[in-house]
Amino acid sequence: MDELDSYSRTVVTVAETLGPAVAALAVGDPERPRGAGSAVVIEDPDGDGTVLVTNAHVVDRARGGRATFADGSHADVRVLGADPLADLAVLAVHPDAATPAPVTLGDASGLRVGQLVVAVGNPFGLAGSVTAGVVSGLGRSLPTKDGRVVEDVIQTDAALNPGNSGGALADARGHVVGINTAVAGVGLGLAVPWNDTTRAIVASLRRDGRVRRGYLGVVGAPTPLPVDVALRLGRRQGLRVAEVVRESPAARAGLKPGDIVVDADHEPVTQARDLQRRLFADAIGRTLPVTVLRGDAMVDVLAVPAELTGS
C-alpha cells in the first residue's frame, strides 16, 4: 500500500480488519426474508464464544434469520433479545456454525467531533461496503416511529444507506465505537455509541433476553450553560430538552422544551447518557428528582419513570 496516502491506508486497514466480522443479515425465513440489515460479530459478554449485535429495528419482531459473511459462509441465527430504547439486539449463532473472529470493541466516550470514522455494512445488499467520514456531532437524540427516543447517538457524515443498519462504525484503529442505526438525511448518518451503558445493555440481552428500562420521554442534546451557572455548578454544560413526548412521565412531571437538565437523582447531567444511566430497572416507579434551568431559575421537578414495554 506504499502508493496510498496516510488517509487511504487507514481506511483500507480498517476495512480489511472489520470486513470479515460484519455480516449481511436477513431476518425471518431465509428464503423469503422480511427484513435485512447488517450485524457485527463480538465476543459473548458471558465469555462463551461469540454473538452478533445489530439494531432492534432490524430484527423487529423476528425470532431469527440468517447471517452471511464476507467469505460467503452463512449461519442461522436466533434473536436472544432486543431493546428498542437503545436500538440494539443480540443474536446467537447456531452451535454448528463457525463465525469469523470478533471485532475489537472501543469506547465512544472518547470520541471528538471531527475525528475520522469508517462505516462497514451491507447497504442495498452490497456486501462489505465501506464509507469514511468524520464524527460530525455527539450526544444526538433519535426519535423513533413509535414515539420513543434513542439517546446519545453519534452523528457522522460517513455515507449510510438502507442496509447499513446494524453495521459497524469504527475509529482509525479499527475499534468499533458504534453500531450504525439510521440515515437522517444526505450526508447525515447516526450510530448507537459503544460505551459502558451499551455494554450493560448487550450483557442483559444476552443473559435475560430483555432490559428492564425506565422511560421518561424526553429528546435532548448537550448545551453550554450560562457562565454564571457553570461557575456555580462547576461544569460547563447540561442537557437541553428539545422535545417532550406527549403523555410521557416527563410531560406529567412538567418538564418543558427549552429546559436544561443539570441534575437527575442528585447527580450531574451533562449529556444524554448521564440520564440513561439512571433509568435502568431500579428507577422504574421510583420518584426521580430532576433539576432544570428554566430561564434564569433553577426548578426542581419530580418524575416517576415508567417501564419501557415492548414495541
Active site residues: 57, 87, 165
C-alpha cell of residue 226: 450560562
β-pairing verdict for 64-68 and 22-29: antiparallel
Report the chain's terminal Cα–Cα distance, integer Å. 48
List b or e across 162-175, with b for residues whose CB sees 16 or more CB atoms inside 10 angstroms. Answer: ebbbbbbbbbbebb
Cβ count within 10 A of residue 176: 27
Q: What is the helix, strand, coil percentage profile of the chain, to 5?
A: 20, 45, 35
C-alpha cell of residue 302: 419530580
Name the nearest CA neighbour of 201 among 106, 87, 111. Answer: 87
AA identity, residue 75: A
For residues 110 and 19, give the distance between their C-alpha atoms in angstroms, rounded to a whole number.
24
